[in-house]
Amino acid sequence: MPPQPNTAHEQERPSYTRVAKEPVGGAVTIDTLPDNMTHLVEDVGRYYSVTSFGPEDRRTDEFWVDLNNFQHGQVRMHGILSNTHRQAARVALSFNFPFYGHNLRQITIATGGFIFTGEVTHRMLTATQYIAPLMANFDPSFSKESTVQYMDNGEVFVVQWERVRLHGREQEGAYSFQAALHHTGTITFSYRDIPSTVEMISSPEHPVKAGLSDAFMVNLPSLQTSDTQRRLIHEYHRADIDTTKITNGSAFEFTALPTCLQHDSCDLCLSSRLTSGCTWCNVLQRCSDGMDRHRQEWLEYGCSGEAKDVTCEDYSQEELDSSINPSEASTTDVTTPLWPPGTRDVKTGPPRPQDRPGQTGVIGQTGVIAGVVAAIVLLLALILLALYINTHPFPSSPIRPPQRRANYWPSMKFQKQGFQSGYSEVEVDGNEKEGIMGDGQC
């Protein structure tokens, strides 16, 4: 039988809450850090180590990826994002990109200078789950020279916001910067043209951020009806960078640190010196510290309390015991005799009845007759049931089939009222073409 979830949830940590309503199907609550906090103190250095490089550093030039150096067709200019304001578009990756220990194969590029990494499609993409070299109210539609380009060569995925300007403040200058996602999990931010300090571009209409963020989602029962659920998106980590260091020719490097999720066995999970605070959940066959995108499932199956006072040897012994069922081991299959007919079983004594001469034919005929009778009875029962249903129609059943557990987050849309910084997702049909950059066109 499949494991049954444990409905006893752990007590959540206190958090700061922003609430957004869905038009249909309940409410969505987004828990984020307050705007005046730059780090989660208990998680500093837990997922990434951050290094900054100024214009005078030797390695700074190495981080900037010159898209002109790539072959024709490798660099693409997104036609819609390069000509719109507050839009976002999903793009597939050609490799697994580790982000907070989770392998991503799809990301969402936004015109506002950031990449959204979540699986939920909603208008508040700026709240959490982002890779933001410089999140601000950029409007690529202002000028033809403003573009959003990206390149994927199987080793690194680069997004470049080229000569984009702030909405309503276009005269202040054009910004050019990049975010590079390496297949190793390393993330780099590079800045070529920054005409104003980050403190000067703040706006009440759009958040201004620079750094990384991730979150998990849990389902909570609705307070209004039993048919809907409230979905809470909780930001469990944010790594902000020092925005005063964002200048022309600067760069930042985020090096991914080992996480519990990378361990695929109990021994590695509990004994590895690369990670700490890891717990092995034998039910899910997963290693985690409980703070990742799978937290909902981790809580439902009681994984946080499963491994208390339990070792990997205990799990191995349980699996060994469950593989040996004494009742099945002592039962003999009568259709496949283990001894020749008429021989003596040293354990049971005289020959078994099914092996005595003259008995096999009788048993076989009796079985055939019993099978025919059972089939006739079943057929009559089905006929009577069909007649009864036709003459006595049932009312619609209030019982709903159980919902299948989803490992992904369902797509959600937010209401437009009250959220000035909302983004809409670009729906690209089969006729949409993206510009191919190359041969000096970048």
Could you list the pLDDT tens digit for every one of the 442 residues in the chain?
545 544 444 333 333 333 333 333 334 556 554 443 333 333 456 899 999 999 999 899 999 999 988 877 789 999 999 999 999 999 999 999 999 999 999 999 999 999 999 987 777 789 899 999 999 999 999 999 999 999 999 999 999 999 999 999 999 999 999 999 999 999 999 999 999 999 999 888 899 999 999 999 887 776 665 556 677 888 999 999 999 999 999 999 999 999 999 999 999 999 999 999 999 999 999 999 999 999 989 988 888 776 566 788 877 766 665 555 544 433 333 333 333 334 334 333 444 444 444 444 545 566 778 788 888 888 888 888 777 776 655 444 333 333 333 333 333 333 333 344 688 776 544 333 345 444 434 3
Task: Report yes or no on 169 lying in a domain.
Answer: yes
Complete edge-to-edge strand list for the sheet that includes strand 424-425: 16-21, 27-32, 229-240, 209-221, 130-135, 114-116, 102-110, 87-99, 424-425
Same domain, 193 and 287: no
- Smallest CA-to-CA distance from 81 within 93, 91, 67 is with 91
Same domain, 418 and 316: no
* Distance (Å, whole) CA 106 – CA 116: 10
pLDDT of residue 333: 39
Domain assignment of residue 120, given as a range: 16-257+410-437
pLDDT of residue 396: 42
pLDDT of residue 114: 97
Same domain, 224 and 102: yes
Same domain, 143 and 160: yes
Specify whether the CB–CB gap between 331 and 337 falls below 8 A. Answer: no
- Check the CA dihedral 134-83-116-233 and report its sign: positive
pLDDT of residue 427: 57
Residue after which a domain boundary falls, among 299, 328, 357: 328
Tokens linked to 429:
């049909």
Same domain, 301 and 178: no
* Distance (Å, whole) CA 351 – CA 344: 5
Residue after which a domain boundary falls, among 278, 306, 328: 328
Task: Report yes or no on 159 lying in a domain.
Answer: yes
* Distance (Å, whole) CA 67 – CA 402: 50
pLDDT of residue 80: 92
Tokens linked to 44:
């500093």
Tokens linked to 295:
């937290």
Residue after which a domain boundary falls, among 269, 298, 328: 328
Same domain, 148 and 58: yes
> Could you tell me the maximum CA-CA distance found in the chain, to the nearest angstrom?
104
Q: Could you identify the residue written with the tokens 């700490």?
A: 276
pLDDT of residue 415: 33
Same domain, 299 and 213: no
Tokens linked to 354:
């099914």
Same domain, 149 and 284: no
Same domain, 144 and 68: yes
Are β-strands 424-425 and 87-99 bridged in parallel, bridged antiparallel, or unpaired?
Answer: parallel
Specify whether the CB–CB gap between 190 and 254 falls below 8 A. Answer: no
Same domain, 61 and 135: yes
Task: Report yes or no on 398 lying in a domain.
Answer: no
Same domain, 270 and 285: yes
Helix (H) or strand (E) holding 21: strand 16-21
Q: Domains in the chain: how many in total? A: 2
Same domain, 142 and 113: yes
